[in-house]
Amino acid sequence: MKARLRAIVLALLAGSAGALSGTPLEASLHAPTDRPDRLYVVLFSLPDCAYCVPIRNAYLPALPDDPRFGARVRIREIVIGSPRLLTDFDGKPARHADLAHRYGVKFAPTVLFLDARGAARAAPLPGGDGSGLYGGYLESRVLQALDAGAAAPR
């Protein structure tokens, strides 16, 4: 908890070049040797989305540092409307815009919680942190998604 809070505060106060430029997180969704219980936490963003910055630079990177989540969580980013290619869950190339359309994402930020096959494990988390409660909402959805993955048949 303290590490996550520290990461959030540092990212928000630092104003680093990455935070200002909106440097995206890794986008590849394919990992053929991945664990079946892996959770992909996928941020759908836009290039000039101010609400995306704290999610991208503080909230999401703190998840793997949490001992409850650790290696079970992979963080990815898809830029809505982008023609850029990434490797989809099936190992084939896909455009960011096509993935946003497939998952019905129309605005940013939206965070999805997907299994290693690309199926939803928890409800989407739309919107930014306007009230200071985003970390709690994110944590709740990650726990819900991990529980759903543990209960799913293999």
CATH code, domain with 118: 3.40.30.10
Which pTM does this prediction carry? Answer: 0.81
Res 36: pLDDT: 74
Res 78: pLDDT: 94
Res 3: pLDDT: 47
Residue 44's identity, in one-letter code, is F
From 144, 65, 101, select the one nearest 110 (Cα to Cα).
101
Determine the average pLDDT of the residues in 53-80. 92
Segments forming the whole domain that contains residue 137: 2-151
| Main-chain dihedrals φ then ψ at residue 10, nearest 5 degrees | -60, -45
What is the tally of structural domains in the chain?
Answer: 1
Res 60: pLDDT: 95
The per-residue pLDDT for range 103-131, each reduced to its tens digit, is: 999 999 999 999 989 999 999 999 998 88
Answer yes or no: is pLDDT of 91 > 50.
yes
Q: Is the peptide bond before 109 cis (omega within 30 degrees of 0)?
A: yes
Residue 154's identity, in one-letter code, is R
Res 120: pLDDT: 96
